[in-house]
Amino acid sequence: MPRATTVFVCSACAAETPRWMGQCPGCNAWNTLVEENRGAAARKGGGGAPRAAATRPTRLAEVAAERHARLHTGIGELDRVLGGGLVPGSLVLLGGSPGIGKSTLTNMALGNLEGAGRKTLYVSGEESAAQIRLRAERLPGAALQVPVLAETDLDTVLATMEAEAPDVCVVDSVQTLHASDLTGAAGSVGQVREVADRITRVAKQRNIAVLLVGHVTKEGALAGPRVLEHLVDCVLQFEGERERTYRTLRALKNRFGSTNDVGVFEMKSGGLVEVQDASARFVGEATRAPGSVVLAAMEGSRPLLVEVQALVSPSELVPPRRVVNGIDRNRLALVLAVLARHAGIGAGSADVFVNVAGGVRIDEPGADLAVALAVASAVRGVTMGESTPIACFGEIGLTGELRSVAHDDRRRAEAAKFGLSPVLSPGPETPTLRAAVRAALGAPLARVAA
């Protein structure tokens, strides 16, 4: 039997070389050579394999679509983000910062599945079995009954998966497994691609639902080759700050469900606890002080009320500081410019601090009005709202107009559920930012020179 070999392929021009070099000999690009497996028959002069016969394509109407019952993890927020549970034979990539709770979430899911009579397997390349037990002891359910394999060799992991044939398998993490027939270190581009490809084959053949835990880069993106995200069926991002208790789980890709759902968790001593009504937590903690406003945001298809706080103070620095937490810093700069030019409230020489309470990150343009009103309230030192905090949402245009955003009715319904009414939003009574600030602060505004 011919011995398998490896070649290095340029990701830019597809040129091949038998050994790694810093610069591609074909296109002169740097650091683009990636190791790949090639059989001896594929080498030049080795006599290629016989050409495959053509296969008749099948019309989609004639294809039998099988309906697989989903595997429920027992964690409602996770099942909802997945689209109803795990699909047998699917691959789910779960990414997140170190210490955010990825292992805790997967341990809890496997424990619930094991308690429901499903066969499970937990493969760990980062921790020993003793370390995993210490974490499982504080988790609810049958977490201690989950079979554990502490191994980094890919061949051993695949052999165990085929022998045990679990319904669900967790690999924590995909960057720690090592294919012995590749020379690269574990976690390199070639290794991660080969590991994911072989696990995919076994998962599809054995109908095993696999949860791959992945590392992230300093910028927060999933580490490894981009092909990893294309290879899997679902990509989940676990976000939050380790110093805070709240965590959010969102789907960046889902072949078996929607990417509009978001799950909210709270980290406690006994593991992750689902937050069924996150708005109640955030509204209950909202303060009625200058610089505080409630934003009616949308996390996917889920309305969420969060508190936006602003602090404006005199600065001795040039330029003054602009510190944000939970929103885009560039968006704050845009809001401050429009607020000064079209609403007569300037903070050009002051330090501006804006924070979304609870460690939640909001990336939608509907948060513009909340940021503007919070800053305006902090500048004027005026509390908005008589007995309850002001709730608002809306996008701000560069000419000072308020633009409508999606799911207007759902945002208002969520605010009304907690007694936050009326809600400031784009409409006939508040068509501009100036009108919205006047309505919120209840005081005349200075005219802005043209």
Determine the Cα–Cα distance for residues 387 and 399; give it in Å rounded to an integer.
32
Is 102 annotated as ligand-binding? yes
Torsion of CA 108, 112, 114, 119, to 10 degrees: -80
DSSP 10-46: ETTT--EESS--SB-TTT--BS-EEEEEE-GGGSTTS
For 49-83, letters b (16+ CB in 10 Å) and e give eeeeeeeeeeeeeeeeeeeeebbbbbbebbbbbbb
- The helix-helix angle for 368-380 and 433-441 (nearest 10°) equals 50
- The helix-helix angle for 433-441 and 329-343 (nearest 10°) equals 80
Is 97 annotated as ligand-binding? yes
Amino acid at 3: R
Cis before 422? omega within 30: yes
Is 253 annotated as ligand-binding? no
* Residue whose structure tokens are 């903690």: 285
Is 100 annotated as ligand-binding? yes
Strand partners, 202: none
Is 103 annotated as ligand-binding? yes
DSSP 211-241: EEEE-B-TTSSBPS-THHHHHSSEEEEEEE-
- Binding-site annotation, residues for ATP: 96-103
